[in-house]
Amino acid sequence: MGIFSKPIKTLDDLFTHMLQDIYYAEQQITKSLPKMIDKATNAQLKSGFELHLRETEAQIGRLDQVFAKLGKTAKGVDCAAIDGIIAETKEIMGDVDDPQVLDAALIAGAQAVEHYEITRYGTLVAFAKQLGHHEVVGLLQQTLDEERATDTVLTTLAEGSVNSRAAA
C-alpha cells in the first residue's frame, strides 16, 4: 500500500483501486503511443497504433463514466506494472537499429501492454458483477473486448509479416 493510498479493506475498495490503476495506465499509454507511432515503419502497424490511440482516449472517457456512475472521483494511482512495461519498451526501442526488428519489438511491447490491460479489465468486469455494479459492467466489457481485439490484430500482423521480415 502506497504512502498516500487509502487502505484496501473490502472488495469494493480493491475494485476502486484497480479502476484508479487502469485509469493511470490508460493515461500513460496515451503518452507512449505517439512515440511508438513515430518509430513504427510498417504502415499497418503505424495505422493500428493510431487507431489504438483513439480507442484509448475513448476508453479513458468510458472510465470517467464508470467513476461518475459509481459516485467516485476519476483519478489514477501509480501503476508500477504499466510503468515497467512502458520503460522496457522504450529501452528496447532505443537499442534496436534495424527498422524491421524495431517493428517486431514494438509489437512485443504493445502486446505486453494489451495483456496487462486484458487482465485488469477482465478482473474489473468480474468484480463489478460480484459487487452488483451492473451499471458499469457494459462500459468495462466494451473496453475489454477492444483490448482483446487489439491483441488479435497485433498477433495477426506479427505472424503475418512483421516477424518474418525481422528474421530475414
Range of the domain at 134: 11-167
pTM of the model: 0.92
- Look up the CATH number of the domain holding residue 107: 1.20.1260.10
Answer yes or no: is pLDDT of 1 > 50: no
In a domain, 33, yes or no: yes
Query: Does residue 76 or residue 93 have the better pLDDT?
Result: 76
In a domain, 5, yes or no: no
Q: What percent of the chain has pLDDT over 70?
A: 97
For 77-106, write each residue's pLDDT tens digit.
999 999 999 999 999 888 899 999 999 999
Cell of 123: 478482473
What are the backbone dihedrals phi and psi of residue 98, each rounded to the nearest 5 degrees, phi first? -75, 120
The total of structural domains in the chain comes to 1
In a domain, 54, yes or no: yes
Count other Cβ atoms within 10 Å, centred on residue 130.
Answer: 11
In a domain, 96, yes or no: yes
Three-class secondary structure of residue 58 per DSSP = helix
Count other Cβ atoms within 10 Å, centred on residue 102.
Answer: 23
Three-class secondary structure of residue 10 per DSSP = coil
